[in-house]
Structure 1
Amino acid sequence: MTTKGDAGGWRRLNTLAHYGVRDSALMALVHRPHAHLNNANCTSGTAKCTTCSTFGMSGSGSPVSHCGGGGDADCGAVEAHVYHLVKPVDHDSPNRGGERTHKAIPEIFLTRLLSTKGTVQKFVDDFFKNILNANESLPPAIKWLFDLFDEAGRRHGITDPEVVLAWKSNSLPLRFWVNVIKNPNFILDVHKSPTVDSCLSVIAQTFMDACSTTEHRLGKDSPSNKLLFAKDISQYKASVRAFYNGVRTLPPVTDQDMAAYLHHLSLTHLAELDSKHAVQELFHTYITRYYSPIMETLEMDPNCRTLHLAHKLDNVMCTINGEPTSMC
């Protein structure tokens, strides 16, 4: 009942901030039976409620309730102009997915494309600068992994520096950051419209080109998304190289430091991980499938033989299968 509307008929659904719930507040879900719904309208678990549209899809892509805000009022009809966090643009609204959209002619929208690129240029530059910054706040795992790649290159006699750079690029920028650029809805509660998705694909492709070790020759027949940031690629490539060099000059991370860091992460997120389910997945999808080669490796490795890891794993498998461990 406290939801406010604007002049255009849109209503922004209330969030926790609307009710004064602050960060780190302790919340509890309390079951309350819906006594106001009689059996004629909604039965429990056997029939679908015909008078209440429980969940709809908001502009952000999150399920939201369209029932009355007072809690005790009957659920009314679904409102067409309700949004969660971000009001969807009319032509990108999920409700208009079935309508036919026009094909944009590149020559007509070229000027608009260049002006839009100039508008977002600073944001793209700032984003690349922030994620390609080798300072003391960099997670130790990145320094440890990049040093591992450098050591592997030296140990195997790889003289081509582009090979090690490709290892580093495929481990962090191309595997993690490109995914974040392409899918902001993975970490933010926002709706990614088709138009926004196309724009983010151009930025993601630009970042991929910056991490590439090969030179791309562009011509008049090259796609517009390649030509858009063509003059900036050399600068972005230099930033990627500078990031790798900066990580190389950071103080080394020992195995003990890495173990301590991982232990700290485990304690920090202790309540967020279902360890029992994780162990079950580990055994059923990995150990069971590759049991024989794992046992052979444990029996051949001298350190594993000292710790009797093969025998311990065999006992664990017997326990899971319900067999007496004395028979193993």
Structure 2
Amino acid sequence: MGLTPFKVGKIRQLYSVGDDHLLMVASDKISAFDVVMEQAIPEKGRVLTAMTSFWCEELSHVAVGSLVSCDPSVIEHSVPGFKEASDLHGRTMLVRSAEMLSLECIVRGYLAGQAFEEYQQHGTIHTMAAPPGLGLGEQLPAPMFTPSTKAEEGHDLNIGLEEAAEIVGKKRLEEAQELCLNLYKAGAKRCADAGLILADTKFELGVIDGQLVLCDEVITPDSSRIWPADEVVIGQSPPAFDKQPFRDWLSAQPWEKSPPPPTLPDDVIATTSARYQAAYERVTNRALEDWYGRSS
């Protein structure tokens, strides 16, 4: 197809399409602690793409998205030959180019992950005050906007609102905070209707023609913690429709969290793949087999 690479990430590859569009291709690779595993997770790329497409439509009343289409026949018009590239179908998005904010825009509605670790040690969440006595998996009094840096290499760093304002400007940060909180609330409501809890999620925002737009993946198992509402017990690690169980398995291994990673056993690969597919089908009430690129 003669595509020009724009950026190669841990999970996604970006290719330039003309002057103002990109192809975003999600692989089946999985990473943790900034290390990409050697084995792939079957159907993961299709799940990430299908969920993002669903959420861009579902949240269109809250934010304009950069997504143009995931339909191979539509992409073909911009990328001649794409219809024949069947291995890319279902895991490729045609998107508008945007000037990305240099922040990870995280919204937390429940206490988990790094936020819980910080809360245990300091009683704060992203350096911000939090009420005492909260347990793992407990709902916060109100959703919190907790940005982090966007590192090209290594770990993103959690930062406070003042430092975030220094990076993107006070006005733009206020816009991003309001937009992300509204996106989270709408997403959490949809999840609740499906018997799920959207514990936290990371949004990627960019600017097109001066307007903040929703970019990249949206409320996927890679960018979010999604829990079955009826199985959450405060103080216990919640069962999850995300990659936390995979991370838990890794954490139990004698591994220094640097390359090379340990070899994933078949049962971890199969369980993780099933969790990703279940996340899509529970949230959307749609079958993954009906999405583009259905496996034969």
Structure with the greater relative contact order (CA < 8 A, sep ≥ 6): 1 or 2?
2
Higher share in strand: 2
Which structure: greater helix fraction? 1
Q: Same fold (TM over 0.5)?
A: no
TM-score range, shorter chain: under 0.3
Q: TM-score, normalised by structure 2?
A: 0.23
Which structure's CA Rg is the greater one?
Answer: 1
TM-score, normalised to structure 1's length? 0.21
